Amino acid sequence: MNKLIITCAISGAEVTKKDNPYVPYTIQEMAEEAYQAYNAGAAIIHLHVRHDDGRPTQSKLRYEKAIKAIKKRCPDVIIQPSTGGAVGMSRDERLKPTLLSPEMCTLDCGTLNFGGDDIFVNTENDIKYFAHRIYEKSIFPELECFEKGHIDLVLRLHKKGFIKTPMHFSFVLGVNGGMTGEERDFHFMRESIPMDATYSVAGIGKYEFSLAELSIKYGGHVRVGLEDNLYLEKGVLAKGNQELVEKVVQIAKSYGREIATPDEARQILGLRRI
């Protein structure tokens, strides 16, 4: 079984310090959280950036500063900017971090209700547009799927040549408006992708560690982090991203899964090194 790739989503665009005081806003805070997660075992840092007051932004300059600061602390880590941005952002605004030509980024593969009046819009034409812009810069996309229909759309677009191999999926489960994170949901998603594809699982809130364990058990990979879950266990706030990564490492040890270094993760996924 391949070594386990751990991705850490250190901040997200929506959670705030009111939710957990360890959510990073500033460049220095992001670099520190990324460094601690990396030391704990994360090979990939999933990156949103914020203004110093916590407001989300897709500013190219802000991403450039954050990436430089993180790379200074952990030079070999894989940095995976988000092209999801925040609800309401335009296509080109969301794509600004790709102007920096990172080795990896996310590609959201379907529209989702986020609760209330919030709709995270990713039309088929949006996805084609994003895929074209991502591949023309030789960036490797992580295919974020919040429910089974998103996988089906990816496979249709793959047949038409818009999505290329190798394909690496991220099952983001437990989001309001998407699939829940029960074991049946995990297996439904896992069994719906091609045999030669890789996948990672991001369980939201209470599903984070139960889904992490399932993915570890069945040969997948794992994403954790304060973007997805603020708690180490019920009622106990995590004191930073490091504790969340460390908990996954302990689960992996119980199943005999070794933890992949960034360069081993590159080899597993077929990434270019920059």
pLDDT, tens only, 156-193: 999 999 999 999 999 999 998 899 999 999 999 999 99
Contact 127, 153 (CB under 8 A): yes
Q: What is the mean pLDDT of residues 223-229?
A: 98
Mean pLDDT, all residues of the chain = 96
Model pLDDT, residue 274: 47
Contact 242, 220 (CB under 8 A): no
Q: What are phi and psi of 166, to 5 degrees?
A: -70, 150
In-domain check, residue 17: yes
In-domain check, residue 58: yes
In-domain check, residue 73: yes
pLDDT digits over 236-271, tens only?
999 999 999 999 999 999 999 999 999 999 999 998
Residue 266: how many CA atoms within 13 Å on its side-chain side? Answer: 14
In-domain check, residue 163: yes
In-domain check, residue 246: yes
Nearest to 4 by CA among 274, 273, 253, 270: 253
Work out the percent of the chain whose per-residue pLDDT is above 70: 99
Q: Name the domain count of the chain.
A: 1
* Three-state SS at 191: coil
Q: Which domain holds residue 112?
A: 6-269
In-domain check, residue 1: no
In-domain check, residue 274: no
Q: Which residues pair with 201 in a beta bridge?
A: 171, 222
Token pair for residue 26?
A: 């500033």
Q: What's the CATH number where 83 sits?
A: 3.20.20.70
In-domain check, residue 16: yes
Q: ∠ CA 37-188-150 to the nearest 5 degrees?
A: 75
Contact 32, 40 (CB under 8 A): no
